[in-house]
Amino acid sequence: MSTPTPQPARITVLISGSGSNLGALISACNTPALPRARITHVISDRKDAYGLTRAADASIKTTYHGIVPYKKKYPDHAGKSDFHDARRAYDADLANLVIAGTPDIVVCAGFMRILTPSFLDPVKAQAIPIINLHPSKPGDLIGAGCIQRAWDEFEANKRTETGIMIHYVVEEVDMGEPIVHETISIQGCTSLSDLETRIHEREHSLIVKGTNSALQKLSKHGKA
């Protein structure tokens, strides 16, 4: 009896912006860099994210999942500044959206929302790993705006390098186990834009390498 051909790994990608890293993943699918893989769903929290266009142009299912209806349904109470209830309801519905697509893995590629346990727990219960691209070395800069902060510290002679990493997503933001990471020298950059270009160029190969590494780990455990 012949061995059945393994089905391609199903990838869901979360985005918020241009989607150049999504584009790198789309181009890499079913090449030696990312074999037997296909992106089956792209979800954005921003309606104007150009990444949605990149996905549609590649005939990939897209969903816009915005926060505004949740903020309207759960108005802030007692001055809760970061709208806990709205965020939890948003994340619970995002988890349902993701799970319905039966992915083998979720990749955050410039997804600019902090994910709460209302998302993390249901997805983890389905044994779906979540990984994230972050423009910093492990344990260095945390959160949004890290490229700007690295540039500001370089200009203040407080650092000469930064980095990029792909890491597993856990509740503590940007503190999940690194999968792959690279150090990037800032020396020679003459502007923030220079540094952003240098970082983006290196991210596009790292996100493919990190996604493939996470999928290989899954297949070793017979999950993908």
Ligand X SMILES: Nc1nc2c(c(=O)[nH]1)N[C@@H](CN(C=O)c1ccc(C(=O)N[C@@H](CCC(=O)O)C(=O)O)cc1)CN2
Contact positions toward ligand GAR, by CB under 6 A? 15, 17-22, 51, 109-110, 133-135, 144, 146, 200, 203
Of the candidate spans 73-81, 173-181, 193-201, 204-212, the one that interacts with ligand X by CB under 6 A turns out to be 173-181
Q: Residue 201 has which token pair?
A: 């160029």
**134 tagged catalytic:** yes
Strand partners, 133: 166
| 99, 122 Cβ separation under 8 angstroms | yes
Shortest gap between Cβ of 35 and ligand X (angstroms)?
26
Question: Which one of ligand X, ligand GAR, none is in contact with 21 (Cβ closer than 5 to 8 A by kind)?
Answer: ligand GAR
Q: Which residues pair with 74 in a beta bridge?
A: none
Report the partner that residue 115 touches, choosing among ligand X, ligand GAR, none (CB closer than 5 to 8 A by kind). ligand X
Quick note: the x/- pattern for ligand X over 116-155, rule CB under 6 A, is ----------------x-x--------xx-----------
CB of 4 to ligand GAR, least distance (A): 35
Amino acid identity, position 139: G
Catalytic residue positions?
Answer: 134
Residues that bind ligand X (CB under 6 A): 82, 108, 111-115, 132, 134, 143-144, 169, 171, 173-174, 176
